[in-house]
């Protein structure tokens, strides 16, 4: 076992999740990420926690629920880390465990390289400050307009609350991604219209060699163009998976575009949109899938006020 991974895992568990001796600590992993899961498990034991490792079959797509027994164990634990190939972030299992007081970090698709470099090494006090101020803008806002390379997408966020994913989950019920650094919100269903050029990456697809142009009408993708378009629509399916579910803003200045959306969507100077489920963070869509797409160097406005120009906060 790579001792450096265990040491980094120990630091992450203590600094970002506040794991303490004798706390009940659960690592939820799958066959793909089992080796990294074992590093977290060993780190938990070093801290003196009552550590458990639960390995499941790989899920088919992000947003798919884990087995019921795993969901029940998540509720019972003090701290949970979900280190899986596909994301458990937007699942009922994660939501229910957080509601019960569990502190949770999700690490979908994380690689050994991401453990050793990039976003995990950020100053999370600084990330937390920027994330919370950006979240406040979203909560107070009513209308978003995104512009990129001549294409425009607009939608309502009225009466929706922004969600901070700060990378620090120290209080009962706090949860989010690790590595982290994003503020996000569930747009009002059916209000999105226009086009958006996704040129960074898509969850489940990876880094994009060529952009994907999405046309959205009344909140739903009605057309996708580009070499990865067919694959994207296949993952989303023909139902509510094609509905706009999320608008997010990256706030981690150490994050890189790697092709793994866990890190990509945190990159400072990017925004992301997601399609599918959002009922776990203030929306009304339950689709069994949640797929994020990252947009590099955009402009965007909240209530006609320019917030970001070419990827730089104003």
Summarize pLDDT for 1-58 with one digit per residue, the tens: 789 999 999 989 998 999 999 999 999 999 999 999 999 999 999 999 999 999 999 9
Q: What percentage of residues in the chain have a pLDDT greater than 70?
A: 100
pLDDT of residue 196: 98
How large is the average pLDDT for residues 128-146?
Answer: 97
pLDDT of residue 151: 98
Residue 150 has pLDDT above 80, yes or no: yes
How large is the average pLDDT for residues 230-257?
Answer: 97
Q: What percentage of residues in the chain have a pLDDT greater than 90?
A: 94
pLDDT of residue 123: 87
Q: Mean of the per-residue pLDDT values for the chain?
A: 96
Write out pLDDT tens, residues 166-189: 999 999 999 999 999 999 999 999
pLDDT of residue 144: 98
Per the CATH hierarchy, to which homologous superfamily does domain 3-116 belong? Answer: Thermophilic metalloprotease (M29) (3.40.1830.10)
pLDDT of residue 2: 87
pLDDT of residue 230: 97
**Banded pLDDT at 121 (limits 50, 70, 90):** confident
**Banded pLDDT at 118 (limits 50, 70, 90):** confident
Domain ranges of the chain: 3-116, 121-313
Residue 135 has pLDDT above 90, yes or no: yes
DSSP structure string for the chain: --HHHHHHHHHHHHHHS---TT-EEEEEEETTTHHHHHHHHHHHHHHT-EEEEEEEPPPSSTTPPPPHHHHHHHHH-SEEEEE-SS--TTSHHHHHHHHTT-EEEE-TT--HHHHHSGGGGS-HHHHHHHHHHHHHHHHH--EEEEEETTEEEEEE-TT---EEE-S---STT-EEESS--EEEE-PPTT--EEEEEE-SEETTTEE-SS-EEEEEETTEEEEEESTTHHHHHHHH-SSGGGBEEEEEEE-BTT----S-HHHHTTBTTEEEEEEE--TTTT-----S-EEEEEEES-EEEETTEEEEETTEE-
């Amino acid at each position: 076992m790579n001792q450096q991974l265990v040491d980094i895992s120990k630091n992450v568990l203590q600094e970002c999740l506040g794991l303490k001796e004798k706390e009940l600590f659960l690592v939820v992993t799958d066959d793909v990420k089992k080796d990294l899961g074992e590093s977290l498990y060993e780190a938990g034991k070093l801290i003196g926690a009552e550590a458990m490792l639960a390995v499941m079959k790989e899920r088919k797509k992000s947003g798919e629920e884990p087995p019921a027994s795993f969901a029940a164990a998540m509720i019972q634990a003090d701290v949970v880390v979900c280190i899986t190939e596909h994301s458990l972030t937007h699942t009922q299992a994660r939501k229910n465990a957080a509601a019960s007081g569990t502190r949770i970090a999700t690490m979908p698709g994380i690689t050994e390289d991401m453990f050793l470099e990039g976003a995990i090494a950020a100053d999370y006090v600084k990330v937390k400050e920027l994330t919370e101020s950006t979240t406040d803008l979203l909560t107070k806002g009513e209308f978003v307009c995104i512009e990129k390379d001549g294409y425009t997408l607009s939608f309502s966020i009225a009466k929706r609350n922004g969600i901070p994913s700060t990378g620090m989950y120290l209080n009962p019920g706090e949860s989010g991604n690790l590595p982290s650094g994003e503020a996000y919100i569930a747009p009002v269903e059916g209000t999105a219209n226009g086009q958006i050029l996704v040129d960074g990456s898509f969850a489940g697809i990876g880094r994009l060699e060529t952009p994907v142009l999405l046309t959205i009408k009344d909140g739903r993708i009605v057309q996708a163009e580009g070499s990865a378009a067919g694959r994207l629509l296949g993952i989303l399916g023909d139902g509510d998976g094609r509905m706009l579910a999320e608008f997010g803003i990256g706030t981690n200045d150490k994050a890189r575009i790697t092709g793994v959306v866990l890190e990509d969507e945190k990159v400072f100077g990017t925004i992301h949109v997601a399609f599918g489920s959002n009922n776990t963070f203030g929306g009304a869509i339950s689709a069994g899938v949640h797929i994020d797409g990252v947009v590099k160097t955009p402009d965007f406005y909240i209530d006609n006020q320019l917030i970001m120009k070419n990827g730089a906060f104003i």
